[in-house]
Amino acid sequence: MELPVIGQASGCSSSGCGGSSDQLAHLPAHIREKVHNHPCYSEEAHHHYARMHAAVAPACNIQCHYCNRKYDCANESRPGVVSELLTPDQAVRKILAVAANIPQMTVLGIAGPGDPLANPERTFETFRQLSEKAPDIKLCVSTNGLALPGLVERLCEYNIDHVTITINCIDPEVGAKIYPWIFWNNRRVKGRKAAEILIEQQQKGLEMLSARGVLVKVNSVMIPGVNDHHLEAVSKAVKARGAFLHNVMPLIAEPGHGTFFGLMGQRGPTHDELQTLQDKCAGDMAMMRHCRQCRADAVGMLGEDRGGDFTLDKVEAMEIDYAAAMQRRAEVQAAIEANREAQRKKTGETLVALSSLKRQKKGPRPVLMAVATSGGGIINQHFGHAREFLIYEASSTDVRFIGHRKTDLYCTGGDSCGEAETKLQKTLRALAGCEAVLCAKIGFEPWEQLERAGIQPNGEHAMEPIEEALAAVYAEMVAKGLPEREMTAVPYRASA
Amino acid sequence: MAYEIVESCVNCWACEPLCPSRAIFLPPGAAGPARPHFRIDARKCTECEGDYAEPQCAGICPIEGAILNGLGEPVNPPGSLTGIPPARLAEARAEIQAR
């Protein structure tokens, strides 16, 4: 299945070029229908819908240098980490409880903590029960791809129509620096040969799924000095084989995580490096930029984790009437859709007005802005409560979603796990490069410090749709006259 | 002769479903710092003889030194899984940090 290239044409007046609401507009209607309420596949949907991961799949059949197979940590939030490993029966109970209590939860994914397809019995038993008991939940799976070709038929049996494959390379020389070994045909295979087999299986699995009409997203971990220059070629290759979305994520490597890369001092990419690569790949296919690299047992909206509300003993005590819950879920989701439709209409009007700016001979420069939101696609979070900010680039032609930045990064543990930096200092560092931050409210002290750092705080657009508010703030800034951009050389690592 | 899993095991479960003799188990026990790790029932372990050319648990175990063979030697000694022999570790670290 060959997909059209997302438009990068100049003069695009909607927010669609590059990664915002209408990013998926180039896709056929049946695919848009499949992803419109999937928070991990549609940037716009992630403001409104929630997801959960069920940690039923512990075993893994490969070793990645960015992964530590000791996955049990309550304070870290990153892929491969979970607090409670579940049996399929326990997982199904928990999923029904979450779906009943969080009606905007549309998606259940199995993503680990190992590789779901290296645990086929546990993974497929969970899917089998769910397809019977909760037909209104979308099922998806995330895999390294090694066992994928042999399991495509079974995936199709349970209507798994979203599959994510992590593909970090198509060149075994590069692969050998990322994967020290794989377990293949009952033996350990090391080095270049291992990477060769893995790459072959990944590409074959991708082709087989595309041929069956299954939507495939490709995740790639950007590792400076290893695959950063190679990922453009990966993007082209996976698009040619039918992948519909590419998610380039920053490497997470900290010594405290105990991964090979963390212990050896491999650095992650800077925000700039990540964004530059994402922009390069965007010439080839739709890019996902809102990934939060969540835990293999995450629950809730992207960027939040309500897993603590649904531990095994809490779930055990809940009475769930799923038929009633399904009814309520349908109502809540219909209301969300009505709200989105209203927002779309409103935003469309603003952007048409904004687009008139581009008729100026020499367009004003673009500006990076940060937004504090707790969901719903509106500016509704207090600055001090925000644990992450969404970053947008406003220009004379559009408002483009760039990514998110966490203030507390991947560890929520106490002083023992981090340097003694205040939360405000961390936040200022996370906002490096931004010239405005929009939030519902903000205190006096952070206001002063933000201004001093050259970031204009703005609480005037509380409860307004994000893109509309950003467009208005940008228009104001342009009207006042944008200052010459000072290149602040604050190195800020996207992953550390 | 039997293989043995020692306390550096991280309980990743990779070996458990592969054992042709169903000899691998997670002993029940209190949670906490002294939580139990996977063990091999020495009476059941065949070292995969007759089933596989390579003992399966040691073939998939991601932790160097966590599985000992019948002679008490680590099947995956230091450097065997990362691909970097201990003697070259400092050099490799310097290379990686220069990226």
Residue written as tokens 């989701």? Answer: A333
Beta strands A388-394 and A181-184: pairing type?
Answer: unpaired
Asked if A180's CB is within 8 angstroms of B83's CB, the reply is yes
**CB contact set of A256 (below 8 Å; sequence gap of 6+):** A262, A411, A417
Does the bond joining B17 to the residue before it have cis omega, within 30 degrees of 0?
Answer: no
Q: Provide the 8-state DSSP code for A404.
A: E
- In this prediction, residue A1 carries a pLDDT of 41
Is the model's pLDDT at B33 over the cut of 90?
Answer: no
- In this prediction, residue A37 carries a pLDDT of 83
Chain B CB contacts of A83 under 8 Å are none
Q: Which two tokens stand for residue A64?
A: 């990645």
Residues of chain A falling short of pLDDT 70: 1-27, 71-82, 284, 346-362, 408-421, 485-496
> What CATH number does the domain located at B1-99 have?
3.30.70.20
Chain A CB contacts of B18 under 8 Å are 186
Nearest Cα neighbor of A6 from A277, A288, A403, A282 is: A282
Most distant CA pair in chain B, distance: 50
Chain A CB contacts of B65 under 8 Å are none
Residue of A293 and B44 predicted with greater confidence: B44
In this prediction the ipTM stands at 0.94
Domains in chain A: ranges and CATH: 23-316 (3.20.20.70), 353-480 (3.30.420.130)
Taking CA atoms, B44 is separated from A227, B52, B54, in Å, by 45, 15, 17
Q: Tell me, yes or no, if B56 comes closer than 8 A to chain A by beta carbon.
A: yes
Q: Tell me, yes or no, if B8 comes closer than 8 A to chain A by beta carbon.
A: no
Chain A CB contacts of B93 under 8 Å are 264-265
- In this prediction, residue A73 carries a pLDDT of 57
Closest CB to B12 among A58, A181, A187: A58
Q: For residues A127 and A139, what is the distance between their CA atoms, to the nearest angstrom? A: 7
Q: What percent of chain B shows pLDDT beyond 90?
A: 84
Asked if A180's CB is within 8 angstroms of B81's CB, the reply is yes
3-class SS letters over A75-135: CECCCCCECCCCCHHHHHHHHHHHHHHCCCEEEEEECCECCHHHCHHHHHHHHHHHHHHCC
- In this prediction, residue A11 carries a pLDDT of 33
| CB < 8 Å & 24+ apart, contacts of A2-10 | A2/A240, A2/A242, A3/A27, A3/A239, A3/A242, A3/A244, A3/A285, A5/A239, A5/A283, A5/A284, A5/A285, A6/A282, A6/A285, A6/A286, A8/A282, A8/A283, A10/A397
Q: Tell me, yes or no, if B90 comes closer than 8 A to chain A by beta carbon.
A: no
Query: For B18, left (φ over 0), alpha (ψ -120 to 50), or beta?
Result: alpha
Strand order in the sheet with A456-458: A399-406, A388-394, A367-371, A436-438, A456-458
Q: Mutate which of A61, A66, A68, A69 to disrupt the B interface (most B C-beta within 10 Å)?
A: A69
- In this prediction, residue A304 carries a pLDDT of 76
Q: For residues A183 and A61, what is the distance between their CA atoms, to the nearest angstrom? A: 5
Residues A210-232 as b or e (16 or more Cβ within 10 Å = b): beeebbbbbbbbbbbebbbebbe
Asked if B10's CB is within 8 angstroms of A69's CB, the reply is yes
- In this prediction, residue A72 carries a pLDDT of 61
- How far away is chain A from the Cα of B33, in angstroms, using its nearest Cα? 12
Closest CB to A69 among B12, B16, B92: B12
List chain B domain ranges: 1-99
Chain A CB contacts of B54 under 8 Å are 186-188
Chain B CB contacts of A225 under 8 Å are 96, 98-99
C-alpha dihedral, A381 to A384 to A386 to A389, nearest 10°? 90
Is the model's pLDDT at B52 over the cut of 50?
Answer: yes
**CB contact set of B29 (below 8 Å; sequence gap of 6+):** B35, B36
